[in-house]
Structures are given as structure tokens and as C-alpha cells.
Amino acid sequence: MEPSVILLFVAAALASLFMAWVIGAGSSGATPFAPAVGADAISTMRAAFLVGILGFAGAVTQGANVSEAVGRGLVGGITLPVSGVIVVLLVGAGLMAIGIRTGYPIATAFTITGSVIGVGLALGGTPVPEKYLQIGAVWVLTPLAAGGTAFAIASLLPREDVPERWSVPLLAGLVAAVVANVSVAFLGPDGTSGSIAGSVTRILGVHGSGVSIVVTLAIAVAVAALVRSDLDRDETAGLRRVLLALGSLVAFSAGGSQVGLAVGPLLPLLDRVEMVPSIAVLIGGGFGILVGSWTGAPRMIKSLARDYSSLGPRRSIAALVPSFLIAQIAVLLGVPISFNEIIVSAIIGSGAAVGGRAAIDPRKIGVTIGAWIASLGIAFVLGYAIAWGAL
């Protein structure tokens, strides 16, 4: 391989690493534990440490689907050259930097998706309408699903006729049932992907969907009973521990859903460098998220914690549950998704349940949605223009 090509590969890898750092340092690294910090359940530095570790674990064990979609599923008939990958990542990182600088909520998923499609089409690739429809449907439905679920949970928790010693354990049990069936790498036979429920059935030496359902129910009941016992001993401390658990799940899911935005564009390059396995790229992206979480997230965690402290543990729980569920759906489908979109929608939904229309700022919502749409459009135009004119 020529030295110039090697240098381009190194430049692409560094751009990918920087994007992973931005993801870890941004809302994806700060949001999961901000509610727990706001509720004084954990310190800022310990939260940053845990979110980095969990984000790394999620990236390595769940990042393949979204990475594959971003790298090979958005444009057909072409493999992006090294220079094209660099353009994609620089456009995405540049727009993210502008958003951080100006305070506008630029969405990483929108910028990377737009720039990949723009560069790919400019270089002669063909559109993939079915994938665009799937991504668009998820993006449009996310605010409705996240906001609606958060609204329902936030409306339920304070009701006198539904005591929290029952509602919170039931919610924890439902989340545990989902966790038991989430697919992660290395849990399946011979190191393939698998779930906790599937692993338990293999250990027991029994098979069948009925057995998996029984195992899932057993896990859900056990978690619900544990949470119920904890709340009976000390309700305030119990709610804080539920927040910590949910924050951990969201941090793990953030790593799995967001790492693909940083390393996905690199995957086509692996076809030319067969000695580099895809797991190595995921590890590199996970490392970037980890470093970003450790070095950049503490400041944002402190900032977000002030906002979350006004939410209280119940509204925070209502916001984190749909965040976890939607992130896992996106991982399963292999759809790049904005964590900002999930979290903002969930917070709006939980706020509306408590404060009604007075808790909703239509202007702020409009600016946020406008920034998301602009992120996609500007990234597409910039990627197309640069690739068409310079590559």
C-alpha cells in the first residue's frame, strides 16, 4: 500500500476518533446519569467514569448494526474512498462543533446521515429509498413515542390510587424483561450474539419459545421484587437507585446506538484492509466515547444535572425509560438515531404530564426541530458539494 494511501487511512481513523470523542463528551455521554447527579444519587466524576465504561461496553457489544447501516446501507452501488470518508466525518464533526459553539442542538445522527448520503450520491452512488423510509419513520415517530411514553409514566407515578411501591417495581420489571431479551455480542453460542434469556435456557439445557418466556418472566418478577423491597426500606434512596440503574442502561444503549455514527463510515475501508477486523473498529470507537466521557462529559453533566434536579426522580425515571427502549429499538433495526431527539422529547412529555401546556415552550421546541432538520439538509448539501467539487 502506498504511503499516501496509508496517511489517508490514518487521517480517516483520527477523524473517526474525534467524532467518537464528541459523542462521548456531548449529550450522549452526559445525559444518562445527569438525573441521578441532580438527585444526589452519585457524584459528577463517578457518573462520568461509569458512563464512559458503559458506553464503551455498549459500543463493542451492540454497535455493529448501526455501524453497518451507516457504512454500507445508506448509498448503493459505490464504496466510499478514503477521501470521501474523511469528508463525511469532517462535515459531521464541523457541524457538531458549530452547534456546541452557538448553542444550537445539532444532532449527530442527522449530520452524519446527511453527509454520507451527500458524498455517496455525488460520487455516483444510488439512493436506497427503503432505508431512507425506515430511518425517516423512526425519526418522525421517536418524538411521539418518547414523549407519549414519558407522559404516561409521569402521569402514573404520582397517582394516589397507584402507590409507588407497586408502580415503580412494575416498571422496573418491564424494563428487566426487555433487558433479558436484548441481543448483545458474545452471549450466543460460539461467541455469536445472544440474549440473557437465551443464555439461561442454554445453561438449563432446554429450548423453545415457551421456556424463554418463562425465564423472562422470572427475571422480571425477581427484579420487581428486589425494587419493591428496596422502596419499602427507604423510598427516597430506592428511587435514586432506580435512577442509577436506568442511567446505566441508557449509557450502555447510547454507546451501542451512537458509535456507528463515528465508525460506520470507516467500514467500507475495511474491504481494502482485510487485516483489520470490524471489532477492532468498534473498540476504537468505544475508546473514543470513553475518553470523551471522561474528559468532556463532567462539565455537561453538571449543567444538565441542574435542569434535571428540578425534574425530580419521578419525572427523570419517566424520561429515562423511553430513552432506553427507543435506543434499543434503533440498535435492533440498525437505524442511526439522535439521542438529543429522544431525550428532549421524553423530557417534554414528562413535563407536560406535570405542568400541562405551561411546561412546554413552543418557540424552543420549534427552534430545536428546525435545528435538527437543518442539520440533515446542511450536511447533505455540504457533503455533496465538497465531494462533487474536490473528489
Please identify which residue in the block is written with the cell numbers 412546554: 360
Give 48-57 pLDDT, tens digit per residue: 999 999 999 9
Within 10 A of 163 (CB to CB), how many other CB atoms are there? Answer: 10
Mean pLDDT of 269-277: 70
Q: Which range has the worst mean pLDDT, 42-51, 166-175, 340-349?
A: 340-349
Q: Grid coordinates representing 296?
A: 468532556
What pLDDT, on the 0 to 100 scale, is given for residue 189?
83
User: What's the pLDDT tens digit per position in 289-308?
Assistant: 999 999 888 877 877 766 66
Are 24 and 288 in contact by the 8 Å Cβ rule? The answer is yes
* Most confident region among 57-61, 83-87, 278-282 by mean pLDDT: 57-61
> Taking all residues of the chain, what is their mean pLDDT, rounded to a whole number?
86
Task: Return phi, psi of residue 343, to 5°.
Answer: -65, -45
Looking at residue 217, its pLDDT comes to 95
Model pLDDT for residues 343-391, shown as the tens digit of each residue: 888 888 887 876 655 556 677 677 778 888 888 999 999 999 999 987 6
d(CA 212, CA 222): 15
The reported pLDDT for the residue numbered 309 is 62
Half-sphere exposure of 342 (CA within 13 A, CB side): 29
Q: Are 344 and 269 in contact (CB under 8 A)?
A: no
Would you state the pLDDT for residue 310? 66
* CA atoms lying within 13 Å on the CB side of residue 64: 13
pLDDT of residue 324: 94
Which range is least confidently modeled, 8-12, 49-53, 100-104, 226-230? 100-104
Mean pLDDT of 64-81: 90
Mean pLDDT of 179-186: 91
Give the mean model confidence (pLDDT) for residues 236-246: 91
Written as one letter, the residue type at 208 is G
In the chain, % of residues over pLDDT 70: 91
CA distances (Å), 103 to each of 27, 47, 234, 258, 370, in order? 12, 24, 40, 21, 13
75 forms bridges with which residues in the sheet? 127
